[in-house]
Each structure stands twice: as structure tokens, then as C-alpha cells.
């Protein structure tokens, strides 16, 4: 998205980018019984979607809006690790994950898109011949049944259109090996056992690298390339989108926090991103309030004094300190 893209006003006179609703809608079908989704499977799916772009049109910044489910909650160290790996592997300038605050999932575009998918299934009987299979205690038969159901689902959804394109379905079959990452059990084990795990050092180095390239707040994770000459990863492949970097400069290199400002919008509405960029006095007020917020977090002892990561609880902060240099 560029600053010159279409900007619109809301009824409070706040400026926003016109939300582009069109775009390819991807659905990944997994059989829950054999392949549960987790932060790593999401990363694999996103990685594979990115491979469908031509090399010169691959996005350099990815931003995710998600709910607070356990496999996409930015507060989780597992999500942090998997997303950090994706940011590295795709050689992205930035990767941002924001999740909806509690009770706000209704604004999530994916929830709205799901309506179209369920509608396409209304009054349809899947033709999978389940009676043919004695599947109750037989995984092999059950796998065949799931696989057939996946084919039927994608057959229906591939003919369903959403935002002027047909839905793109990918089936992850019960026995298929997921790629590029396939080590989630090991990751969980390392994060749980810490220094008692033989691979702890290898993971720890990686986590420490990621920590120096990430900002965390409530409902927000933001990975970005640094500009340090001693950083092999970032030096090897410099930042492509300099415009985005210049804008972020205004906000200490991260997206602005949602902060209500007394003198603006009757202190009832959060200022928009574009208003903060375009209005100097609004930006100054934002920085004053942010400063207060950070000082309070320091007083409440829920901020890491080394990297300024903000936490909701002291227990989470202590877990983080195991890795923060």
C-alpha cells in the first residue's frame, strides 16, 4: 500500500486508506484428526501462497489480522518463533501480526468471508461413501474418507466466487508431509524444557536474533529488518520498501499504539494512522501519551528494560527474559 493510494474519510473526519476488499481468497483444508493446525502449519500455508507470486511482484511487507486463537496469538512464544522464521525465509522487509482485541472478532474480514463458504455448502450432501469404510477403529479407512471429503469440498468451493475471484482451495491430505517446516513438536519441546533440551542453544541463538528484530505489544508483533552493518541477514538483502520505513520513523519504527487523545475526537475515537502522519500536533500529543504509557509499564514492571517489549503479565515477562540478552 502506498501513501498515494485512495484515502477516504469517516463520519468523525478521520482519514483512512480505502480498504481493498478484492484479492485471492485461499482456503486450506486439513483433517483435524490427522493434521491439527498450529503456528507452523499457518506459516507453511502462507509460505506456499507466497510462492504463487512472480519473483518481481512478491510483497516485501506482510501484515496479518487475526483472532486470538492459540495458534495465532501474538503473545505466544511459539507464534513469535514461527512467524520470525517466515519473515527470515521470505526475506521480508517487515512482517506484522495484529490480533483483534477481545469481543472484536466480528470485524475480522475472514469471519465475513466464511459466510460465503458456508452458504455454498447449504443443502448439499457430501457424496463420500462412508458406508464403504469400516472406519470406526481404522485410521487408514478414515484417512481415505477425509481425503475424499476434502476433494468434494474443494470441488464445491473452487466454483464459489468471492470478491470477483474463485476461491482457491488447497487440500493438505492426511498423510502429506508439510513444508517447508516440519519440526513443531521439537520446537514445543525446546521451549518447554529450556536448557535441559540438547537443541536449546541452537534455538536460543535464533530466538535472540529474532528478538533484536521485533517489537511486541499487546495484540501486536512486528518483525523488521535492521540497518546495522554487522547484521549478516539484513546486510545481505537490504530493505526494499524505503517509503514504509520513512513513515514508521515517525512512530519509533513501529506502528502507532491505539491511544485515545483527550483533545481530539472528544477522546472517544482513536486517531487514524493517516491522521497521525498528516497532523503534526496530533503526532506530538500521541508521543506524549505514549511516553506516559511506557513509564507506567516500567512502574508496573511489565516491560523488558532491555528491549522494551511490553507484557500483560509478569509471568510472560519472566519467560521472555530467558532469551533476551
Chain residues in the site for Zn ion (CB under 5 A): 226, 231, 234, 304, 306-307, 309, 324
Q: Which three cell numbers stand for residue 69?
A: 486463537
Using H for helix, E for strand and C for coil, what is the string for 165-178? EECEEEEECCCCCC
For residue 38, give the DSSP letter. Answer: -
For residue 310, give the DSSP letter. Answer: B
Tell the smallest beta-carbon distance from residue 33 to Zn ion (Å): 39
Q: CA angle at residue 216 from 301 to 241, to 5 degrees?
A: 150
Q: Which residues contact 67 (CB under 8 A, 6 or more apart)?
A: 99, 100, 105, 108
For residue 245, give the DSSP letter. Answer: H
**Cα-based torsion angle of the residue sequence 308, 100, 74, 267 in order, rounded to the nearest 10 degrees:** 0
Tell the smallest beta-carbon distance from residue 287 to Zn ion (Å): 22
Q: Which three cell numbers stand for residue 199?
A: 537443541
Tell the smallest beta-carbon distance from residue 294 to Zn ion (Å): 14
Q: Give 12 or 209: the residue with its C-beta nearer to Zn ion.
A: 209
Tell the smallest beta-carbon distance from residue 315 to Zn ion (Å): 15
Q: Give 31 or 76: the residue with its C-beta nearer to Zn ion.
A: 76
Q: Give 218 or 304: the residue with its C-beta nearer to Zn ion.
A: 304
Tell the smallest beta-carbon distance from residue 14 to Zn ion (Å): 34
Q: Give 82 or 207: the residue with its C-beta nearer to Zn ion.
A: 207
CA 135 to chain centre: 37
Tell the smallest beta-carbon distance from residue 217 to Zn ion (Å): 13
Q: Give 261 or 307: the residue with its C-beta nearer to Zn ion.
A: 307
Q: Give 25 or 81: the residue with its C-beta nearer to Zn ion.
A: 81
Q: Give 163 or 231: the residue with its C-beta nearer to Zn ion.
A: 231
The residue to which cell 502429506 is assigned: 176
Q: Three-class SS of residue 95?
A: strand
Tell the smallest beta-carbon distance from residue 304 to Zn ion (Å): 3
CA distance 84 to 87: 5
Q: Name which of 94, 38, 128 is nearest 241 in CA terms.
A: 94
Amino acid at each position: 500500500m502506498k501513501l498515494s493510494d485512495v484515502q477516504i474519510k469517516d463520519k468523525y473526519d478521520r482519514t483512512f486508506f480505502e480498504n481493498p476488499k478484492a484479492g485471492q481468497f485461499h482456503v486450506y483444508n486439513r483433517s483435524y484428526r490427522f493434521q491439527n493446525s498450529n503456528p507452523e502449519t499457518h506459516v507453511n500455508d502462507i509460505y506456499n501462497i507466497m510462492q504463487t507470486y512472480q519473483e518481481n511482484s512478491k510483497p516485501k511487507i506482510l501484515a496479518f489480522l487475526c483472532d486470538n486463537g492459540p495458534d495465532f496469538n501474538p503473545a505466544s512464544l511459539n507464534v513469535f518463533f514461527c512467524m520470525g522464521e517466515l519473515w527470515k525465509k521470505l526475506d521480508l522487509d517487515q512482517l506484522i501480526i495484529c490480533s483483534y482485541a477481545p469481543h472484536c472478532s466480528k470485524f475480522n474480514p475472514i469471519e465475513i468471508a466464511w459466510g460465503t463458504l458456508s452458504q455454498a455448502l447449504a443443502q448439499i450432501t457430501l457424496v463420500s461413501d462412508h458406508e464403504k469404510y469400516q472406519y470406526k477403529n481404522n485410521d487408514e479407512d478414515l484417512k481415505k474418507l477425509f481425503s475424499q471429503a476434502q476433494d468434494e469440498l474443494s470441488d464445491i468451493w473452487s466454483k464459489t466466487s468471492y470478491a470477483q475471484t474463485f476461491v482457491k482451495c488447497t487440500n493438505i491430505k492426511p498423510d502429506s508431509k508439510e513444508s517447508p517446516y516440519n519440526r513443531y513438536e521439537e520446537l514445543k519441546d525446546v521451549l518447554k524444557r529450556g536448557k535441559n533440551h540438547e537443541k536449546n542453544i541452537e534455538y536460543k541463538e535464533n530466538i535472540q536474533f529474532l528478538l533484536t528484530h521485533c517489537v511486541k505489544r499487546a495484540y501486536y508483533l512486528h518483525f523488521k529488518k535492521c540497518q546495522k552493518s554487522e547484521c549478516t541477514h539484513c546486510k545481505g538483502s537490504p530493505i526494499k520498501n524505503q517509503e514504509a520505513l520513512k513513515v514508521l520513523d515517525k512512530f519509533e519504527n513501529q506502528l502507532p499504539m491505539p491511544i485515545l487523545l483527550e483533545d481530539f475526537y472528544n477522546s472517544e475515537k482513536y486517531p487514524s494512522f493517516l491522521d497521525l502522519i498528516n497532523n503534526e500536533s496530533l503526532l506530538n500529543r500521541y508521543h506524549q501519551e505514549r511516553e506516559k504509557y511506557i513509564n507506567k509499564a516500567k512502574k508496573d514492571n511489565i516491560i523488558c528494560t532491555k528491549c522494551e517489549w511490553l507484557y500483560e503479565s509478569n509471568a510472560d515477562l519472566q519467560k521472555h527474559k530467558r532469551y533476551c540478552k
